[in-house]
Structure 1
């Protein structure tokens, strides 16, 4: 299996992350957001458009 090139991203993790069950997020060049599991830094990366991410955060705030 050939792995695709991984973009150089600046990952951020919440300061509230202290048990290892966290996600890291990074801005993408196109304005979207990348998300990964902090326990698997070389694992899969999910990407969301700016609108998708805004809708997700908005829903979290309403919960």
Structure 2
């Protein structure tokens, strides 16, 4: 199982299946997420699919998604 560091080129994450939200803007201003073999996640900018990917553990993503669902970040985009 491969391990990846933050900032790894998204091209180096072999077998990644990148997904984006149905809420993504048609202009392409969105992020894409891929689940990694170790249970973590890679996140990349959809406008730069060959650029760097940020790597998060499953626990980090669970905390982030939970916070988003709870409205913890609403003030940031108001």
Q: Which runs of 5+ in 2 are unaligned?
A: 1-7, 72-78
Q: Return the offset for 1:7.
A: 1.7
Which protein has greater RCO, CA pairs closer than 8 Å, 6+ apart?
A: 2
Q: TM-score, normalised by structure 2?
A: 0.71
User: What RMSD, in angstroms, separates the aligned Cα atoms of the two structures?
Assistant: 1.8
Q: TM-score, normalised by structure 1?
A: 0.86
Q: Return the offset for 1:15.
A: 2.0
Length, aligned pairs only: 61
| C-alpha distance in 1 between matches for 2:22 and 2:58 | 23
Q: Which runs of 5+ in 1 are unaligned?
A: none
